[in-house]
């Protein structure tokens, strides 16, 4: 963890901690300091250039000239980009939920929807992106509202298939909150489908994971899907 490049460390800190928290992210914003142990010297040139060399090879393979002006910085940018888009592997779930689970008597459905997410399809390394809706019925414990999009982001910033991403978000909340049930629905557009082959822009893939009451109770599931139909408040 201590050898993460600064750009990745910053992202991980953002996902783990709240803006305004007295955490590493806040410190980094104020003083440009990174987490203890992660010194600039150790992270300035993360990696040994093999990723850059591989990207140059791809550029050559597709008939490009890696030495031309517009491409000279590309291998380095691509390397940094992939480490950022996969920063979710480095997020510590304990830090993410730290101090954000509360004992509350509330036992009705909690729904958070229209959560934007961006992920990378593991088959093509192309983006898929869309929105997530997450719901659960507490059993004595609730999680801070702002944490739910962070949970989605922790799993989205990895190489994924949409089905697994959906299930991981649901399983995480089930494990951590032990609620009476969890429902997660993801709607996403996959560039590997849109840009190549079938070329059907606008094709949306929907996946869902339902656990507990959301699986066993038709009424709970119906209530969840009714929430998803309802337009949100206009901004």
Say how many residues touch Zn ion, by CB under 5 A: 4
Identify the three-state secondary structure at position 103.
strand
Backbone angles phi, psi at 40, to 5 degrees: -60, -40
Which range binds Zn ion by CB under 5 A, 61-69, 75-83, 173-181, 188-196? 188-196
Side-chain-side CA neighbours of residue 220 (13 Å): 22
Residue 155 or 214: which CB sits closer to Zn ion? Answer: 155
Min dist CB 234 to Zn ion, Å, is: 35
Residues 193-212: x where in contact with Zn ion by CB under 5 A, - otherwise, as a string: --------------------
Min dist CB 161 to Zn ion, Å, is: 8
Residue 188 near residue 130 (C-beta atoms within 8 A):
yes
Question: Considering only residues 124, 139, 141, 227, which one is a binding residue for Zn ion as defined by CB under 5 A?
Answer: 124
Q: Does 188 bind Zn ion (CB under 5 A)?
A: no
Min dist CB 206 to Zn ion, Å, is: 16
Residue 121 or 185: which CB sits closer to Zn ion? Answer: 121
Task: Please identify which of the residues 61, 124, 160, 229 carries the catalytic annotation.
Answer: 124
CA distance 181 to 138: 8
List Cα–Cα distances, 175 to 5, 40, 102, 153, 168, in angstroms: 31, 36, 15, 17, 10
Q: Does 120 bind Zn ion (CB under 5 A)?
A: no
160 is catalytic: no
Q: Does 123 bind Zn ion (CB under 5 A)?
A: yes
Q: How far is CA 9 from the centre of its chain?
A: 15
CA distance 142 to 62: 51
Task: Give the length of the chain.
Answer: 235
CA distance 132 to 185: 6
- Binding stretches for Zn ion (CB under 5 A): 121, 123-124, 192
**Which residues are known to be catalytic?**
121-124, 162, 190, 192
């Amino acid at each position: 963890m201590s050898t993460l490049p600064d750009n990745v460390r910053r992202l991980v800190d953002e996902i783990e901690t709240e803006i305004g928290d007295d955490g590493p992210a806040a410190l980094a914003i104020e003083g440009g300091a990174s987490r203890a142990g992660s010194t600039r010297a150790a992270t300035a040139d993360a990696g040994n250039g093999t990723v850059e060399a591989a990207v140059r090879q791809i550029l050559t393979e597709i008939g490009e000239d890696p030495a031309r002006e517009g491409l000279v910085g590309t291998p380095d940018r691509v390397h940094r980009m992939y480490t950022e888009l996969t920063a979710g592997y480095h997020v510590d779930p304990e830090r993410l939920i730290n101090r954000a689970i509360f004992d509350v008597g509330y036992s009705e459905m909690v729904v958070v929807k229209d959560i934007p997410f961006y992920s990378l399809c593991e088959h093509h390394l192309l983006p898929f992106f869309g929105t997530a809706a997450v719901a659960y019925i507490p059993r004595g414990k609730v999680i801070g509202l702002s944490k739910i999009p962070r949970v989605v982001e922790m799993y989205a910033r990895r190489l994924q298939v949409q089905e697994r991403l959906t299930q991981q978000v649901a399983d995480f909340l089930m494990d951590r909150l032990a609620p009476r049930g969890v429902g997660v629905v993801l709607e996403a557009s996959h560039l590997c489908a849109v840009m190549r082959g079938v070329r059907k822009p606008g094709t949306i893939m929907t996946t869902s994971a339902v656990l507990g009451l959301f699986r066993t109770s038709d009424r709970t599931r119906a209530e969840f899907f009714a929430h998803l139909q309802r337009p949100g408040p206009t901004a």
